[in-house]
A = this chain, B = another copy of it.
Amino acid sequence: MTIPEQQLRDFTYSIFKSIGCPEDDAVLATDVLLSADLRGIDSHGVARLSGYVRLSSTGRLNPKPAIRVVHETPTTATVDGDGGLGLVVAPYAMDIALAKARQYGSGWVAIRNSNHFGIAAYHALKAVEQDMIGYAMTNASPLVAPTFSSERLLGTNPMCYAFPAGQYPPVVVDMATSAAANGKLEVAERLGKPIPEGWVLTNEGQATTDPTDLKKGGVLLPLGSDYAHSSHKGFGLSATVDILSGVLSGANYGPWVPPFVPYLQPLADQPGQGIGHFVGALRVDGFRPVADFKTNIDQWITRFKNAKRIDENQQVIIPGEPENLAMATRRTQGIPLAPAVWQDLHALATQFGIDLTPPHPPH
């Protein structure tokens, strides 16, 4: 099932309005969510809409947050998201980082008391529009074990760096710090296929190729997969995201990060508030003229695209390139939805009495 972007946008907006979001927040949350679907990151787009609705209905998400700055220097700030949608809180924080960067060269904002913020790239790319380098990261519900453990202590904790380019689209490194994203397990399970060793351990810490072992209490492995292949580095990156997003902001961290799914309860004795993010912006012209940077980054991209191939049919992929290609296609041809997501949206349509597929206006 493929649905035109505008139709999916209108529907998503109506759902956010229905759970009590103010007008502007509903527009913004929709834009963040749709950016994932447009960029081909299907796991982080409207597939999560019903999750936000359920979190809201259990009172663990505040649709009308009073987001505020609680601590500040010229180039740093901490934002309290008041339990709001991360889709709204993170852009608020990024706007502060951008304003600070415009004035002082750089700006950095840690965010607490928030919820899932969509794709990190959305937030980092706001900096790129202003010829800045964008940073965005977030901690998340615990699913990943540190090296030498089989305990869920870290989220997939993505980090994103986005760089403006000249003739090319931006270079966007947006990556979970785990060896594999949860979405890849779901695909394997749906197809009844085994997963590679190095993605998941059972809850006893055994290697497995069964994609359902995660649901049975297993863990995702950090990038690197095992100690011989430097999983301690993936753990170190995930720890960095957790400390900057959770510890520095006063949010929860490690196993205390509240789960996204409403049927799991947060741990008692939480050390912080909600989940945490960290965003930032660096002016390119704080270091050298933008035109010089863009000339060089274009040369960087060209050189890597032309790298010697192992397989003649597979060239080197520049970070962000697949997402840019997906966006070009989906903007014109619509957004394909998996059957489960389609059913999910239909259920929301029924629940809130909103038409998911209104009749097309005549051309």
Chain A interface (Cβ < 8 Å from any Cβ of B): 71, 73-78, 104-106, 108, 110, 133, 145-151, 153, 161, 163, 171, 173, 175-177, 179-180, 196, 198-199, 201, 205, 223-225, 228-230, 232-237, 239-240, 242-244, 247-250, 253-255, 271-272, 282-284, 286-288, 292-293, 296-297, 299-300, 303-304, 307-311, 314-317, 319
Determine if B233 and A223 form an interchain contact, defined as CB atoms under 8 angstroms apart.
Answer: yes
Which residues of B are found within 8 Å of A316, using beta-carbon distances?
Answer: 146-149
Q: Report yes or no: B148 in contact with A314, Cβ–Cβ below 8 A.
A: yes
For residue A177, which residues in chain B have a CB less than 8 angstroms away from its CB? 233
Complex contact A108–B106 (CB within 8 A)? yes
Contacts of A250 in B (CB 8 A): 288, 292, 296
Chain B hits for A146, CB < 8 A: 304, 307, 316
* A150 to B104 alpha-carbon distance, docked (Å): 42
Beta-carbon contact of A161 and B73 below 8 Å: no
Question: Do A224 and B179 have beta carbons less than 8 Å apart?
Answer: yes
With A228-B196, A288-B250, A307-B151 known as contacts, the answer to whether A299 contacts B271 (CB < 8 A) is yes
Query: Is there contact, CB below 8 Å, between A147 and B308?
Result: no
* 6 nearest A-B residue pairs (beta carbon): A76-B286, A73-B105, A205-B310, A173-B236, A76-B105, A151-B308
Give the CA-CA distance A288 to B110 in the complex, in Å: 10
Could you list some 5 contacts between A and B, CB below 8 A?
Answer: A76-B287, A173-B239, A235-B319, A248-B287, A254-B303
A247 pairs with B150, CB closer than 8 A: no
Contact of A303 (CB < 8 Å), options: B228, B255, B272, B283: B255
Measured in the bound complex, the distance between the Cα atoms of B201 and A237 in whole Å is 25
Of B104, B110, B319, the contact of A75 (CB 8 Å cutoff): B104
Question: If the complex has contacts A179-B230, A234-B223, are A171 and B105 also in contact, measured as CB distance less than 8 A?
Answer: no
A163 CB contacts on chain B under 8 angstroms: 243, 247
Q: CA A143 – CA B297 in complex, angstroms? A: 20
Taking the nearest CB of chain B, how far is it from the CB of A307, in angstroms?
Answer: 4
Contact of A309 (CB < 8 Å), options: B148, B297, B299: B148
List B contacts of A309 (CB < 8 A).
148-149
Complex partner residue of A153 from B228, B282, B303, B317, CB under 8 angstroms: B303
CB distance from A360 to the nearest CB of B (A): 39
Contact partners of A300 in chain B: CB under 8 A: 242-243, 247, 253-254
Which of B149, B161, B311 is close to A240, meaning CB atoms less than 8 Å apart? Answer: B161
